[in-house]
Structure 1
Amino acid sequence: MAKRSLLNWIALFAFLIGGATRPVLADEEYSLEESPTNGLVYRVSAEVDVRGKLQTTASKEKTLDLDLAVEASFDYRERRLPGAGRDAEALRSLRQYRQAQAAITVNKNRSFSSLSNADTMIVAHGNRPGITFYQPSEFLTRNELELLQMPGDALAVLGLLPQTKVEVGQKWTVETWAAQMLTGTEALLKSDVSCELDYVRNNTAKVRIQGSVEGAIQGATTKIELSGYYLFDTDRNYLRSVELKQTEKRGVGAVSPGMDVVATVKIDRSPTTDAGQVTQAATEKIPLEPKAEELQLLLQLPWNASVSHSRDWHVFQRTQHLTVLRLVKGGSLIAQCNLSPLAERNDNQPIRESEFRELVKKGLGDRLKSIVSSHAVPTDSETKLLRIVAKGESQKIDMTWHYYLATAQGRQMLFFVAFESDLKEQLDEADLKLVKTLRMQKPKLIPASGEK
């Protein structure tokens, strides 16, 4: 009896000694909730690594596989903003990016992407199809937007926190809006993502993430597998770190390649006393909803011109003398717009309306049935616009073509917009809105030999 009693005391003593570091008992409940109004500023650093294959369409029957590697890093200050609604719209923040850059290698061809300005202020606004990023002071470019939309954003991970208190070992199903927002899936077909409170130790809760999402992104079908975990500080009540693995298989879309990739994300997040530009006063200037013009994207054209456009327009092709945009709404291709500069003529005279009509007729050839209208379009700039609307048929499909001739700074530029006639309502004059934003700068003068 004495020996058995001694063993019991040893076991009890070991249990008590280990109490400071052991996982807590499973029947204790914990609240894993981060308040958006706690006044904290967070310093966030993230590393994203993507490896796999891109698939592009080589012909109607074949796709071409390209090796892909992306290494991205981010460093920013962040302060939560009041919610603009429920669920995804409750997650908003103001960020000051100190660093956002990526090295992208496709079949040994290496390129780089980064934010154009240091200490860029960005609003991250939660939406079910993904986080909407915008810059309050000026337009982002498409490349900058896609850089910010890297997988596993910490703001989206906040959507995985449980809505009620949970016990160690307890699982919960992630709301569909949260899984959709985390993966940036525009059209959700199926969501099966769950979390489990693994342990709580030293004021740290570890939550495992597991599951899958199926849907569509930019009209291309996608299937995404998720696995990983996040750590939550139960003393100060904030999300501290994330490690996430995201495997995605996506089909080829109208404006994007297919992919078979694995992305790994590592995020560290901690309160800081250095608020930088992310002050309380700065957050009070951010409206609950972004203005439509703040969501416009800037596109610099290679021939010293620029346009701004809605996010439904996507760059499909770029060369020195041609830029092709495609308009996608709800995953469907609506229209294509070709932008190109017109070479100066020997007589230095701009193309006249009658000449423009002949160019349209020649370009469309047998496809043309009629020219519906030809008229000048008023603008709020010095740019003069001439618009020709033509109708016809291509591959037995009724088509409409909008031609725009823009003249400014002694230069001319052509916009050629093509769409199926039945899609006129969906187009909703998006092409006209695009063309009216055109800004053409004076040609850069090249000094003569010997001049400085």
Structure 2
Amino acid sequence: MAVTVAISAGSAAEHAVSLAPNRNVGDLTRVTAKLEVRGELKSLSKGQETKTPLTVVGDLRYDERVLAWGKQLSDASRSVRYFAQADAHIAVDGQTLPDRTLDEGKRLVVAQVAGRAASCFAPRDMFTRDDLDLVTLPGNTLAIDRLLPDAAIAVGETWKPAADAVTLLCDLDEADSVEVDGKLVDATEGEARCELSGKVEGRVDGVKTQLELTAKFTFDRVRGRISWLALSIKEQRAAGSISPGIEATSRLQLRIAPLDDSATLAPAQLAGVSLEATPASQMLFHRSAAGHFSLAHDRRWHAVTDDERVTVMRMLEDGELIAQVNITPLARQQSGKAITLEAFQADVEKVLGTSLAGIVKAGEKMNQHDYRVCRVEALGKVNALDIQWIYFHVADKDGRGVALAFTLDSKLAERFAGEDEALVASVQLADPTTQPAGASSDEPDEASAQRSILSPNRK
């Protein structure tokens, strides 16, 4: 019996297949991806759960050149991509939304992964949140080869993919539990066919999500990388501070082919373009729905409402809700009719009413855009919680303006410190495409617009 076991073990070792990736700086590939998502958005309304049908179809095609390849998953790997196609077709509750596509100036993208963290930016222009969502998919091509086993295995044998690699495969922020197995199904001299299956519990924007995944992929043994992937993810995600819950199935088809050359990633095309990540490169651009203003914000801010009346943004840090800001466009004022700091502070005090404990400070200045900025900071209580409010009135010399109201738990004040000033400094006013709802260009009512943004009950 011992002899038989030894012979069997030796035979298995002789037929073991190496699936070690062979990625190098300068590697050039063409990636074609198709993502389909079908399911339901879940939200609560008056205590009742509402389910809204959702369909998303995304088509992407990009050339990718490796800029840096870490020996370990914890080491940073970077690539530059050029998206020849990046389109998404979305339908919610049977209503087709305007198609999303990537503008020409944002088609050059730098991607990076390190550990379980992935990020990307457009070095020639600033992404919007929609742009970022459009180019961020499961099956990150800088990370999928990290799913492969470290040691050679025989056909029929299984392995446990690295948890961080599975986290990146599923496009999660965190993975609390990973129970996924890989299996070598078949192998020839040129390729190996593998499968993945299992369950993952993790978090997206601080919200718990449960995934069941199955995948098949082909490993090119000659080139040392995955060349084809079919991934199915069944997800149940709870509602969070910035998005509804979701119950859906995502299906991804990914093809990766070697390239000898890419005109869009040639050295001449990249000359003078900074491919290094900086704090500025991570900023996102937001223009209000009615076009009254635009601003730049870091990726912790998320717009949850954006219409003619108000833009609501929430700041999340490590999954925790830190603050909310309501931004309301103000009816245009005649020259010389700007509100005074004293009147603005009085309006704040009136709106907060009995919730107000006191005004901490108030001041005004001209900023780098030559806008007059009034700022009032207040403390108080709402439902026994200590609350800090920071109000801004921002106006230009032509009478255009917006009001901003930041709200946060006082215990988070140190973590939030300075974020209000940074966001307000980026605001740029513009002529709206439509008038604020309820406003008249002949008889502007700034006080009414201010009260709507200052109200602590405004969602």
Same structural fold, with TM-score higher than 0.5 when normalized by the shorter chain: yes
Q: What TM-score do you get using the length of structure 2 for normalisation?
A: 0.86
Alpha carbons of structure 1 residues 289 and 165: separation in structure 2 relative to 1, 3 Å: farther
The answer for unaligned runs of 5 or more in structure 1 is 1-23, 447-452
Residue 425 in structure 1 maps to residue 409 in structure 2? no
User: In 1, are the aligned partners of 2:105 and 2:125 still within 8 Å (CA)?
Assistant: no
Q: CA deviation at 1:234?
A: 0.9
RMSD between aligned alpha carbons?
Answer: 2.5
SS for the counterpart of 2:342 is: helix
Residue 382 in structure 1 maps to residue 386 in structure 2? no
Q: CA deviation at 1:27?
A: 3.8
Summarize deviations over 1:346-390 as a string: whole Å, max 9, x none: 676211111211221222122112111101256333223221101
Q: CA deviation at 1:57?
A: 2.5
Alignment equivalent of 1:142, drawn from 129, 138, 153: 129
Partner residue, 2:236: 249
- Residue identity opposite 2:371 in structure 1: T
Alpha-carbon distance between aligned partners in 2 of 1:308 and 1:85, rounded to the nearest angstrom: 35
Alpha-carbon distance between aligned partners in 1 of 2:373 and 2:70, rounded to the nearest angstrom: 40
- Residue identity opposite 2:213 in structure 1: L
Summarize deviations over 1:45-103 as a string: whole Å, max 9, x none: 111111111112213x3221111111110011011121368415443211000111111
| Higher alpha-carbon Rg | 1
Partner residue, 1:260: 247
User: In 2, are the aligned partners of 1:98 and 1:118 still within 8 Å (CA)?
Assistant: no
Greater mean alpha carbon deviation, residues 354-363 or residues 125-134 = 125-134
User: In 2, are the aligned partners of 1:399 and 1:419 still within 8 Å (CA)?
Assistant: yes
Q: CA deviation at 1:273?
A: 2.5
Alpha carbons of structure 1 residues 194 and 96: separation in structure 2 relative to 1, 3 Å: same
User: In 1, are the aligned partners of 2:22 and 2:223 still within 8 Å (CA)?
Assistant: no
Alignment equivalent of 2:404, drawn from 396, 409, 415: 415
Alpha carbons of structure 1 residues 58 and 190: separation in structure 2 relative to 1, 3 Å: same
Alignment equivalent of 1:75, drawn from 29, 53, 61: 61
User: In 2, are the aligned partners of 1:88 and 1:181 still within 8 Å (CA)?
Assistant: no
Alpha-carbon distance between aligned partners in 1 of 2:199 and 2:375, rounded to the nearest angstrom: 48
Q: CA deviation at 1:184?
A: 2.4
User: In 1, are the aligned partners of 2:86 and 2:134 still within 8 Å (CA)?
Assistant: yes
Greater mean alpha carbon deviation, residues 437-446 or residues 386-395 = 437-446
State the identity %. Answer: 27
Summarize deviations over 1:283-338 as a string: whole Å, max 9, x none: 79887861011000000112342100010000111111210000111111111000
User: In 1, are the aligned partners of 2:139 and 2:168 still within 8 Å (CA)?
Assistant: no
Alpha carbons of structure 1 residues 92 and 211: separation in structure 2 relative to 1, 3 Å: farther
Greater mean alpha carbon deviation, residues 140-149 or residues 83-92 = 83-92
Alignment equivalent of 1:232, drawn from 216, 219, 222: 219
Alpha carbons of structure 1 residues 372 and 439: separation in structure 2 relative to 1, 3 Å: same
Equivalent positions of 1:312-391 (< 5 A) are 312-345=300-333, 349-377=337-365, 379-391=367-379
User: In 1, are the aligned partners of 2:138 and 2:168 still within 8 Å (CA)?
Assistant: no
Q: CA deviation at 1:174?
A: 1.0
Q: What TM-score do you get using the length of structure 1 for normalisation?
A: 0.87
Alpha carbons of structure 1 residues 128 and 351: separation in structure 2 relative to 1, 3 Å: farther
Partner residue, 2:200: 213
Alpha-carbon distance between aligned partners in 2 of 1:285 and 1:346, rounded to the nearest angstrom: 45
Summarize deviations over 1:384-431 as a string: whole Å, max 9, x none: 322110111111111110001112252111110000111102213222
User: In 1, are the aligned partners of 2:110 and 2:275 still within 8 Å (CA)?
Assistant: no
Alpha carbons of structure 1 residues 31 and 382: separation in structure 2 relative to 1, 3 Å: farther
Alpha carbons of structure 1 residues 432 and 118: separation in structure 2 relative to 1, 3 Å: closer
Greater mean alpha carbon deviation, residues 37-46 or residues 284-293 = 284-293
SS for the counterpart of 1:139 is: coil
SS for the counterpart of 2:296 is: strand
Residue 441 in structure 1 maps to residue 427 in structure 2? no
Alpha-carbon distance between aligned partners in 1 of 2:131 and 2:236, rounded to the nearest angstrom: 24
- Residue identity opposite 1:422 in structure 2: K
Residue 109 in structure 1 maps to residue 95 in structure 2? yes
User: In 1, are the aligned partners of 2:123 and 2:274 still within 8 Å (CA)?
Assistant: no
Partner residue, 2:179: 192
User: In 2, are the aligned partners of 1:193 and 1:211 still within 8 Å (CA)?
Assistant: yes
Alpha carbons of structure 1 residues 193 and 88: separation in structure 2 relative to 1, 3 Å: farther
Alignment equivalent of 2:112, drawn from 125, 128, 136: 125
Alpha-carbon distance between aligned partners in 1 of 2:223 and 2:387, rounded to the nearest angstrom: 61
Equivalent positions of 1:156-171 (< 5 A) are 156-171=143-158
Alpha-carbon distance between aligned partners in 2 of 1:348 and 1:64, rounded to the nearest angstrom: 49
SS for the counterpart of 2:142 is: helix
User: In 1, are the aligned partners of 2:291 and 2:433 still within 8 Å (CA)?
Assistant: no
SS for the counterpart of 2:123 is: coil
Aligned length: 422
User: In 2, are the aligned partners of 1:314 and 1:326 still within 8 Å (CA)?
Assistant: yes
Alignment equivalent of 1:296, drawn from 277, 280, 283: 283
User: In 2, are the aligned partners of 1:88 and 1:178 still within 8 Å (CA)?
Assistant: no
SS for the counterpart of 1:144 is: helix
Alpha carbons of structure 1 residues 343 and 185: separation in structure 2 relative to 1, 3 Å: same
User: In 2, are the aligned partners of 1:131 and 1:181 still within 8 Å (CA)?
Assistant: yes
User: In 1, are the aligned partners of 2:109 and 2:121 still within 8 Å (CA)?
Assistant: yes
User: In 2, are the aligned partners of 1:211 and 1:226 still within 8 Å (CA)?
Assistant: yes
